[in-house]
Amino acid sequence: MTERTGGFADGEGGPTAERPRSKILLVDDRADNLMALEAILASLDQDLVTASSGEEALKRLLVDDFAVILLDVQMPGMDGFETAHRIKQRGRTRDTPIIFLTAIDREPHHAFRGYAVGAVDYIAKPFDPWLLRAKVSVFVELFEKNERLSELAHQRVRDFDLMAEVAERLIALDVLLEGSGDGTADETLAAAGAEVRGLVARLQPFARSANS
Amino acid sequence: MVDDDVRNVFALTSALEMYGMRVLYADNGHDAIRTLQQETGGVHLVLMDVMLPGMDGNETMSMIRDMSAFAELPILVLTAKAMPGDREKSITAGASDYITKPVDLDHLLGVMRSHLY
C-alpha cells in the first residue's frame, strides 16, 4: 500500500500556507484506536479533535463545526447510533457527514442501522488506512467547498442589499426632480445634490479609481 | 449554556438555535467564565446548571457577579434537584431567575424574554 495522500486533500488550488484547516472529529472509547486514527489522518494536515465517548463528542459539537465525524459504533454509555441520532436532530450538525467505524465480525445489520440513522458512510474494522484517508479527504474537500459557497452566498446578499438601497435612493432623487416645481430651483438643486453625494459616498468603495 | 449533562443540553441548545439564538457552551465553571471574558460580541444571557464538576454553579455565579462587567448579566439557573433552600442559595449567589428541570421550553423562552427585553 502506498502512502500517497495528496490528490484529494489539496483540491484544485493546491496547498497554501494560510489555508484554514478543517476540523475532523474522531470518536472512540479506546485510546489506542484514537491514536491509530490520528496517525492515519495526520498527513491530511487538518485539525484532528478526539473524543472518548458519545457524550464528549456532543460537547465538542456544541463548541465547533466539523467537516466530518468518525464515529465508533460500540461504546459504553451513549453508543455510536445514539450519538449519531442526536447529531442528526440538531439543525447545525444535521448535515455533518458521519463515517461509522465498527468491527467486521459484528452483526451485519449494523451497516443498515448506520445508513438508517443518516450516516453517509460505513467502514468495517480493521480498515484499510488508505481507504479511510481517501474517504475523509473527500468529505473535507466537500466541506471546504460548502464553506466557500456559503461565503459567496453571503456576499451576494450584501450586494443585493446595496443594489436595493441605491435603487431606492435613485427613485427618491427622481421623485425630487419630478416635483421640482414645488420649491425654488436652488432648494431642489441643493436637495438633489445631497442625494447624489449620499449615493456617491455609498458607491465610492466600488470605484476602480478613487475620486475625491 | 453551562451544563455538564450533555444529553439534556444538546437538545435544548438545538431548540434555542432554532429560535435564532447563538449558543456558546461550557461544561464547567472555569470554562464558562473564560467564554464570557473571551466573547467579543458579548453574552446576553447565561443558562447555568447548579450541579457542575469542580466549581459548582453557585460558586461560578458568585465569581461572575464579582466582575463588574457582568453585574447586570441575566443568569438563569437550571437545576434538576429542587430541595428546600436551593432556590435561595442560587438567588444569593447572583441568579436572576430559577428554572427547574425538566425544562419546559415555552416557559424557559418566556423567562428568557422577560430578562432580555
A115 band by pLDDT with thresholds 50, 70 and 90: low
Does residue A8 surpass a pLDDT of 80?
no
CA A43 to chain centre: 21
Contact assessment for residue B98 and residue B82, using Cβ atoms and an 8 Å cutoff: no
pLDDT score recorded for residue A18: 64
Does residue A182 surpass a pLDDT of 80?
no
Q: What is the pLDDT of residues A120-171, one digit of tens each?
A: 788 888 889 999 999 999 999 999 999 999 999 999 999 999 999 999 988 9
Q: What is the pLDDT of residues A51-83, one digit of tens each?
A: 999 999 999 999 999 999 999 998 999 999 899
- Please give the domain boundaries of chain B with CATH numbers for all domains: 6-116 (3.40.50.2300)
Q: CA of B14 to nearest chain A CA: how many angstroms apart? A: 5
Give me the mean pLDDT over the A157-186 stretch: 84
pLDDT score recorded for residue A12: 43
Residue in A52, A59, A60 to test binding to B, most B beta-carbons within 10 Å: A59
Give me the mean pLDDT over the A36-61 stretch: 97
Average pLDDT, chain B: 93
A13 band by pLDDT with thresholds 50, 70 and 90: very low
Give me the mean pLDDT over the A36-40 stretch: 96
Give the chain B residue whose CA is nearest to the CA of A56.
B6
Contact assessment for residue A90 and residue A119, using Cβ atoms and an 8 Å cutoff: no
A110 band by pLDDT with thresholds 50, 70 and 90: low
Task: Give me A99's grid cell.
Answer: 463515517
Does residue A194 surpass a pLDDT of 80?
yes
Residue in A61, A62, A94, A95 to test binding to B, most B beta-carbons within 10 Å: A62
Taking the C-alpha atoms of residue A95 and residue A99, their distance in angstroms, rounded to an integer, is 12
CATH topology of domain A19-149: Rossmann fold (3.40.50)
pLDDT score recorded for residue B17: 96
**ipTM score here?**
0.88
Side chain identity, residue A11: G
Chain A residues in contact with B27 (beta carbon < 8 A): 59
A207 band by pLDDT with thresholds 50, 70 and 90: confident
Q: Which runs of E-coded beta strand occur in chain B? A: 46-49, 75-79, 97-100
A109 band by pLDDT with thresholds 50, 70 and 90: low
Taking the C-alpha atoms of residue B55 and residue A123, their distance in angstroms, rounded to an integer, is 41
Tell me whether residues A90 and B17 touch, CB distance under 8 A. Answer: yes
Q: Which of A119, A124, A97, A120 is nearest to A108 (CA)?
A: A124
Lowest-confidence pick of A130-139, A181-190, B82-91? A181-190
Q: What is the pLDDT of residues B26-67, one digit of tens each?
A: 999 999 999 999 998 889 999 999 999 999 999 999 999 999
Q: Note whether B71 contacts A: Cβ–Cβ < 8 A.
A: no
Task: Give me B14's grid cell.
Answer: 438545538
